[in-house]
Structure 1
Amino acid sequence: MTGSSVSVPGGAPGGAPGEAPGAVPGGANVTPRGTARDDAARRHLWGHFTRQSAWDAGVPTLVRGEGHHVWDAAGRRYIDGLSGLFVVQAGHGRRVLAEAAARQAGELAYFPLWSFAHPPAIDLAERLADLAPGDLNRVFFTTGGSEAVETAFKLAKQYWKLQGRPGKYKVISRNIAYHGTTHGALSVTGVPGFKAPFEPLVPGAFKVPNTDIYRASEDLRDDPKAFGRWAADQIEVLIETEGPDSVAAVFLEPVQNAGGCFPPPPGYFERVREICDRHDVLLVSDEVICAFGRIGSIFACDDFGYVPDMITCAKGMASGYSPIGACLVSDRVYEPFAHGSTTFAHGYTFGGHPVSAAVAMANLDLFEEEDLTGRVKENAPAFRSTLERLHDLPIVGDVRGAGYFYAIELVRDKVTRETFSGDDAERLLRGFLTPALFEAGLYCRADDRGDPVVQLAPPLTVGQPEFDEIEQILRGVLSEAWTRL
């Protein structure tokens, strides 16, 4: 899971460094205190990435979704500005997806992929391979994004052992990047606050600078191509420092999520691909968030013109109607596993679950029937320009992203780019923005895993009316936030 917490009352964590903010404002958008369900939630349910004390005033409970809206237990409606958790690409309430799940459950509800196969997994693997770039023709199914990254990490290490190069075990990723919660994926992750409670982690994970040009040095800030070259070259510097014979893979998101939607500068991925090829290092495109139309294409590496050796994906594959993820693998990486007794001793009980695979197939049918990727490509400039209206607010420093995936960075001073930190960030994000945005009817994310941002990733079905509504809610809440500083 590459996205970890969201700006909703009680549904996001607080307290430890790197956590995304959350607070319960009270009122109609929580399950009323004292009801049997609220009491049960507070006694028994452990929220993910959640400050559990935030539920003392009541548990925010969502009960229904339709299109790009969700409703809470009190009947209040909210725009789903984050697609649940970067997941619900096709929108809520799509009966065709629920019906696909029911049909498959009635025919074959479960069977593992351990030594066996079933039609939904075969059909989905073939379809994903056809959609993927280059020779990424093998599909290893998981149940989510962290498992997909864990799979790629383990596969890279075994691949090099099979090549007679067991010393190639190190992996490189970017600062502040989030790649998942399992021990291997957490080691690849570059968010210190998420890692500290669980150290020591898997050894051999190293970090390079990310592509946050807004915070780049002044000599690079005004030259995106030069900045992209510099950022890519830091990967080569680290490979050469550690020794090419020790580095197995580089893990990069097409648009980095944590820190606030950092898109790649021009030429960045072309240069990274050259570096990986030169030093015989595998390139893993972590598209757990960015795949399935979030940036525009089914696979976001196509949006930026590079072909990786592996793609990790999950969230949007079934639009959240059933859990599924995958690691797509090139013919080159698969080849040593195709012969004799060689086995990738790795798997998941529910990986490639028949119901999930059937739902994913139906979801991809919707993508084709409604041209959801074309819709994103057509409307993305309007989404950007609508959000860029917020530049007139003194608290808005930067608006960045791609496709239907954007962040608004908040600053104390637009000229100096002074950020909020410590108590200021706690007061601004957790104390005001998180509850205020939700109260205003917008479910999104206020995040402080880097500099404070508000993130948006609505369902791919929205258009200009929803862009306008989101902008108006943000304008009102951010304007009030500025008066409270």
Structure 2
Amino acid sequence: MTYTQADSAYDHLWMHFTRMSSYRDTPPPMIVRGDGAYIYDSQGKRYLDGLSGLFVVQAGHGREELAEAAAKQARELAFFPLWGGYSHPAAVELAERLAGYAPGDLNKVFFTTGGGEAVETAWKAAKQYFKLTGKPRKYKVISRAVAYHGTPHGALSITGIPEAKMDFEPLVPGAHKVPNTNFYRAAEISGVPSLAEDEATFGRWAADQVEQAILMEGPDTVAAVFVEPVQNSGGCITPPPGYFERLREICDTYDVLLVSDEVICAFGRLGTMFGAQRYGYQPDIITCAKGMTSGYSPIGAAILSDRIAAPFYEGTNMFGHGYTFGGHPVSASVALANLDIFEREGLTQHVLDNQAAFRATLEKLRDLPIVGDVRGDGYFYGIELVKDKATKETFDEEESERLLRGFMSGALFEAGLYCRADDRGDPVVQLSPPLICEQEHFDEIESVLRDVLTRAGKLL
């Protein structure tokens, strides 16, 4: 019997967030090539990349200029760290570029290699900022239920998914949770049925829960609030009208930093360079990663306001934090080339021009009994699945397992669509296609989903 690369994948490659036992006798899919909005497996089969890899490949697959940017930089300077007072041109240029895109006075860029590290950086910076400014007791953070902020111990502590944390506890102390803004579930989230009648009223209630948490913990102990512009886990949960305006007001009142976690929402996903710009709020820190290079090389960043950075720039103070590969020359050069594509091809405007068509195409699926809600913004959508449309009854654990992992994940992929069937929170299908996608791709997504969701409904 021939030992194949698929056998090697099971024997040696420990895949992330993967039940490895599933591949003891069945080889995992082997993706070998990408072109535009499509990926291809080792058998030559084509799939529409409905998730941009993992909310990453904004400019699409197969961009020669990004590969060339990496090769050119590697030939000139393959690596040099940003430690101990040294810099290199690509990191300096990228930092200036990001500061120019970021809202307000977010002018200081601290590079990491990914999103979880960026979140970790933001929390550590917030803690030290308050120590340097005479408020050493302010170290706690508040985030939202079901929100995902990464897997490092600090970022995982901020994450609001109990199942993701239980195997790694005890985690970093001081992380507290408040309700999220899923208006579809407003009545059960709030316990007040009338709040499901008006989105703005529910949004005010949800924002006020942040204030209550700050008061409960003590304003002199809370350093930061971490929120995504559109919350990923739970299925692309959007902010109600006025939510971020009220949240900014609360943070200002109690001297709490507002951290906008934009690891997914930055770089055009919502039709703006940063998600905070989409909803008109001013963060103190933005965390970002994924789409900065369209996934062609790993990089992340925390972008801090001048005010927050100021005490770190005084006297002998320093931020005792860093990563060997943070701001890597090759990754920084790829990011610059990627941002050139954004500007040359108008990718953010392309999303704004086509987002209504994407939404309208997905909204067609509401006629299916299994589709409870379609929500999101830009090119970032979740479809919540329900057992009973009239009552919004969701699936129990066994039903969800059978529906998502037992059927839908495989069926969608087999039908030629790579996306995510997820049950962190209520069961959802998530869609986040490359920003180059147009109506023909939307129609293909809807067609595959209609077929698979129809078959899924008959299984229950």
Distance in 2 between residues matched to 1:407 and 1:451, nearest whole Å: 11
Say whether residues 1:196 and 2:171 are aligned partners: no
2:447 counterpart letter in structure 1: Q
CA apart distance, 1:357: 0.2
Instruction: Determine if the alignment matches structure 1 residue 163 to structure 2 residue 133.
Output: yes
Is the counterpart of residue 173 in structure 1 residue 143 in structure 2?
A: yes
* CA distance in structure 2 between the aligned counterparts of 1:385 and 1:236, rounded to whole angstroms: 36
Distance 1:216 1:379 in 2: 29
- Give the match for residue 31 of structure 2: 62
Answer yes or no: is 1:47 the counterpart of 2:15: yes
TM-superposed CA distance for 1:40, in Å, is 1.1
Q: Could you tell me how far apart the structure 1 residues matched to 2:266 and 2:196 are? A: 28
Alpha-carbon deviation of 1:59? Answer: 1.8
Mapped pair 1:281 → 2:295: no
Gapped regions of structure 1 (runs ≥ 5):
1-32
**Deviation at residue 60 of structure 1 after TM alignment:** 1.2
Match of 1:238 in 2: 213
Q: CA offsets per residue over residues 159-190 of structure 1, 9 Å max, x none?
A: 00001111001000000000000000000000
Alignment of 1:98-247 (within 5 A): 98-114=67-83, 115-217=85-187, 218-247=193-222
Q: Distance in 1 between matches of 2:2 and 2:202?
A: 55
Amino acid at match of 1:86: F
1:105-158 Cα shifts (integer Å, max 9, x gaps): 000000000020000000000000000000000000000000000000100000
Q: Say whether 1:263 aligns with 2:238.
A: yes
- State the alpha-carbon separation in 1 of the partners of residues 348 and 162 from structure 2: 34
Cα distance in structure 1, aligned partners of 2:222 and 2:10: 46
One-letter code of the match for 1:71?
Answer: Y
- Separation (CA, whole Å) in 2 of partners of 1:480 and 1:161: 57
Q: Counterpart in 2 of 1:252?
A: 227
2:190 equivalent in structure 1: none
Q: Is the counterpart of residue 322 in structure 1 residue 297 in structure 2? A: yes
- TM-score (norm. length: structure 2): 0.98
Distance 1:290 1:127 in 2: 18
Q: Find the aligned partners of 2:354 and 2:2 in 1 and give their Cα distance.
A: 45
Offset of residue 55 of structure 1: 1.2
User: Between the two proteins, what is the percent identity of the paired residues?
Assistant: 68
How many pairs does the alignment contain?
453
| CA–CA distance in structure 2, aligned partners of residues 95 and 421 of structure 1 | 46
- Offset at residue 409 of structure 1 (A): 0.3
User: Deviation of residue 436 (structure 1)?
Assistant: 0.4
Distance, in Å, in 2 between the alignment partners of 1:38 and 1:129 is: 44
Q: CA deviation at 1:373?
A: 0.1
Distance 1:41 1:428 in 2: 26
More off after superposition, 215-224 vs 352-361: 215-224
Secondary structure of the 1:284 match is strand
Distance 1:143 1:150 in 2: 12
- Provide the rounded CA distance (Å) in 2 between the counterparts of 1:37 and 1:248: 49
Cα distance in 1 for partners of 2:439, 2:11 equals 42
The one-letter code sitting in structure 2 at the alignment partner of 1:248 is A
Letter in 2 for 1:430: R
Question: How far did residue 450 of structure 1 move?
Answer: 0.3
Displacement of 1:78 in angstroms is 0.2
- Between the aligned partners of 2:69 and 2:416, the Cα distance in structure 1 is 31
Distance 1:374 1:35 in 2: 49
**Structure 1 residue 102: Cα displacement:** 0.3
Distance 1:76 1:347 in 2: 42
* Map 1:72-83 → 2, pairs under 5 A: 72-83=41-52
1:99–1:415: structure 2 CA closer, same or farther, 3 Å change rule?
A: same
Q: Secondary structure, in 3 states, of the residue corresponding to 1:153?
A: helix
Residue 418 (structure 1) aligns with: 393
Mapping of residues 261-410 of structure 1, within 5 Å: 261-410=236-385
How far off its partner does 1:38 sit? 1.3
Question: Could you tell me how far 1:222 is from its partner in structure 2?
Answer: 2.1
**Secondary structure in structure 2 of the residue aligned to 1:329:** strand
Letter in 1 for 2:233: A
SS in 2 for 1:283: strand
Counterpart for residue 4 of structure 2: 36
Deviation at 1:34, TM superposition (A): 5.1
Contiguous gaps of at least 5 residues in structure 2: 188-192
State the 1:35 CA deviation. 4.3
Amino acid paired to 1:42: Y
Q: Which amino acid aligns with 1:83?
A: S
Amino acid at match of 1:341: T
SS at match of 1:216: helix
Q: Classify the secondary structure of the residue corresponding to 1:302.
A: helix
Question: Partners in 1 of 2:52 and 2:138 — Cα distance?
Answer: 38
Judging changes above 3 Å, is the alpha-carbon distance between structure 1 residues 445 and 34 closer, same or farther for their aligned structure 2 residues?
farther
Give the 3-state SS of the residue equivalent to 1:425 in structure 2.
helix
* CA offsets 1:350-381 (integer angstroms, 9 cap, x no match): 00000000000000000000000000011111
CA–CA distance in 2 between the matches of 1:88 and 1:357? 16
